[in-house]
Structure 1
């Protein structure tokens, strides 16, 4: 029986899957202990509460949505690359680069730097396309 293990690319899938949760936590940061009547987090209506947020909290929530949107393509690309027998080191580097770019994207989104954010989004998309084709022969 062959020994199976998580590649770095698979670990990157896990990290990418956790990024939206980190964004949600960031949007809610510091508001858990604050009473609802004073604008604190409303766990009874979390989506409504998030919809009323402004500035960096609203941008963190938007980054959460975009992180969920980017996830299926990334997961699919990594799985397809593995199935096609991609060179593992190349795949690992590209998957790691994708996660780093997505983290930087989130930081720029929350910081309110749309031009840099869009450039990072575009680079991450290109890296993801590269992941998809890294095993193509």
Structure 2
């Protein structure tokens, strides 16, 4: 069980870079990538490129919360199947979140974000108190 939970964390670690792939294509459409000032260039983006940039950064933010949830769960004792299921549901929610950002589905994106965060907070609560 622990190996599966840790694998979900490993997969989640790759998601910010998956989110960066469409950003690279979007930036290339604007001309060229400014390696000297990439954040300045990205701050000037709009539309699709702006959304994929936001999804990229949000993926790092979510990773920190998920990593904490996984580590608390892993250190609190035997990992149960419910925690593993929540871990993989989080991964699915993050993939859905990226798709919602890319396709400009703001309301659905908020719902998917909430479900993913609920998984993150439920995991250590279950591990510590159930």
More helix by share: 2
The answer as to whether partners of 2:8 and 2:91 remain within 8 angstroms in 1 is: yes
Are 1:53 and 2:53 matched, yes or no?
Answer: no
In the other structure, the counterpart of 2:73 is 81
> How far has the Cα of 1:25 moved from its partner?
2.1
Unaligned runs of 5+ in 1: none
Q: Which runs of 5+ in 2 are unaligned?
A: none
CA gap of 1:31–1:61, structure 2 versus 1, over 3 A, is: closer
**Superposition pairs of residues 1-137 of structure 1, within 5 angstroms:** 7-29=3-25, 31-32=27-28, 39-136=31-128, 137=130
Q: Which has the higher contact order (CA 8 A, sep 6+)?
A: 2
Structure 1 residue 86, shift from structure 2 partner: 4.3
Residues 58 and 113 from structure 1, CA distance in 2 versus in 1: closer, same or farther, beyond 3 angstroms?
same
- What is the CA–CA distance in structure 2 between the aligned matches of 1:49 and 1:110, rounded to whole Å? 19
Tell me which structure has the larger Cα radius of gyration: 1
How many residues are treated as equivalent by the alignment?
A: 129
TM normalised by structure 1 equals 0.84
The alignment's TM-score, normalised by the length of structure 2, stands at 0.88
CA distance in 1, matches of 2:118, 2:27: 36
Is the alpha carbon distance of 1:67 and 1:30 closer, same or farther for their aligned partners in structure 2, counting shifts above 3 Å? closer
